[in-house]
Amino acid sequence: PTLELNSIVLNMIRVAIIALLASVASGFIAAPLSSPSATSLSSSVTPITNTGNLFPETGKQVWDPLGLMKRLDDKGVAWFRAAELKHGRVAMMANLGWLAQVNHFHFGGDISPSTSTSFESIANASPFDAIGMIPDAGFYQILFVIGAVEGYQEMIQPHYTLPGGSIGDLGAARCNPEALPRMQAVEVKNGRLAMLGMASYIAAATIPGSVPNIPSFFIPH
């Protein structure tokens, strides 16, 4: 039992490390350069304010029941807005990953021929066990890529906490300018829903019955 508990704790730590690093890296997007000699990698997309007619569910105001935003300067507000977008993007990707894992979707072949670890064997494990089945070399590759992406983004000027900065729009800037605010609001709302969704999946998987009427394809089976 002790060995099994230690294994579970280790796997949860690995999940937490990947989630933490991925959350800070998810805002990466390479902004197009204005010319071959340009040195700025900034985006011209105006950050969303989370207020107005696009947010009727929060009274057209920023959802901040504890008044935390009132204690921050403009740079602090920009940092938290970027953090919400990053976490929302990671959560949306995590939803897809979770659904694929609990429903046993997988690639063919081996994830690591040297250790004979197949994609199928990982797909048949629970999400919490699956991360521990990834060979250490693969795990460190994931950490390296996430760290490299985040490091690159932090070098983009102006920084996303400064006027004119952005964490990237994932191509939304190429849409009709009149539609951009709505698309930004949709991303924020879907990100918030995805974060709540991931919390509910984890609760349902670890505490049976904690999420009433959740469909079976959302939990390990």
Whether residue 43 has pLDDT greater than 50: no
Does the pLDDT value for residue 207 go beyond 80?
Answer: yes
Q: What is the pLDDT of residues 95-112, one digit of tens each?
A: 999 999 999 999 999 988
Predicted local confidence at residue 42, as pLDDT:
39
Do residues 119 and 108 touch, judged by C-beta distance below 8 A?
yes
| pLDDT tier, 14 (very low <50, low <70, confident <90, very high otherwise) | low
Q: Is the pLDDT of residue 221 over 50?
A: yes
Percent of the chain with pLDDT over 90: 26
Q: What is the DSSP string of 89-158?
A: HHHHHHHHHHHHHHTT---SSEEETTTTEEHHHHHTS-HHHHHHHS-HHHHHHHHHHHHHHHHHHHHSSS
Task: Encode pLDDT of 103-138 as tens digits.
Answer: 999 999 998 888 888 999 999 998 989 988 888 888
What average pLDDT score do residues 65-79 get?
Answer: 86
Question: Which residue, 155, 24, 18, 163, is CA-closest to 85?
Answer: 24
